[in-house]
Amino acid sequence: MDFSNRQNIACYIDSDKILIYQGATGSLAQLDFPPEVLSYLDLLQKEKFETLIDSFLEQNKLSGENTILIYSSAAAFEKDFEESQTGKEDSEIQKFIDIVPFEDVLSKTYKLNKKVKVVAVNNRVYESIRSVLEKRNFLIYAVIPGSVLQETFSELAQNMDLGFILRKIDSIKQYSMINGSSPSNPALEKKPEGKKQNKRLYALGGIFAILLLILIIFVAIILSSKSDPTSSPTVVAPPLSPKPTILETSENNAIPASIDAISTPSASVTQTP
């Protein structure tokens, strides 16, 4: 990747906003996302989301920069596991990824300080951001969880210093969630596509089979009743009586039928006036 004649910028992704820090000028720009576009980390309006980012970049005259994406803890799902030698952590990690409430998940497993940390983000949000940046000739250098950087660099433990991150851009690339333009561990990065859709198809298929069976039985009963002459009702004339018969009737009473879904780390930077 050619970094010549390009600025380095840090794009800090939070649960409801994006902060862009320009290393050359020290300026910080912020874009807030309305809840009808991005809510609880779920992308509700993809086209509007991308339009907002593109307009934001146009307004701040940003294009063709080397970019590192940093996810805050509030914009990701994270879980720590105890490192063991039994090999059971892989199944536990996959269970955690499966319960992340997105159909398309980008995730990575890190081994830090004798523990295993799993970080998962909404891949649809990442892909939308990546798409807009690449159209404006940005080069995405790395995608890194902020919590991993805070546990790795003591300078970031209490303060997410975007300027420091840009100065260490080469050394922190090893913690990226992607390798180039694709996830670094495809076996664990995404849930099986169409998993939820398959469940719906199975349910609909079962309902259709039951309805079809009922229809077949109903048609069979109708055809059977038409072909069986003994099933036709016969009218029997009453015997003649020498005397008229008086029928007494009583009125019966009718019975009516009743029908009764973490606090966000702040990205503090030193801005150059």
Residue for token pair 């996302």? 33
pLDDT at res. 257: 37
d(CA 30, CA 12): 9
pLDDT at res. 83: 79
Q: What is the 3-state secondary structure (H, E, C) of 252-267?
A: CCCCCCCCCCCCCCCC
pLDDT at res. 226: 66
Strands 66-71 and 139-145, sheet pairing: parallel
d(CA 18, CA 24): 19
pLDDT at res. 86: 54
Taking alpha carbons only, the member of 159, 145, 141, 98 closest to residue 117 is: 145
* CATH no. for 8-192: 3.30.420
pLDDT at res. 200: 62
Stretches in the chain below the pLDDT threshold 50: 1-3, 181-196, 231-273
Sequence spans of domains, the chain: 8-192, 197-228
The values of phi and psi at residue 61, to 5°, are 55, 50
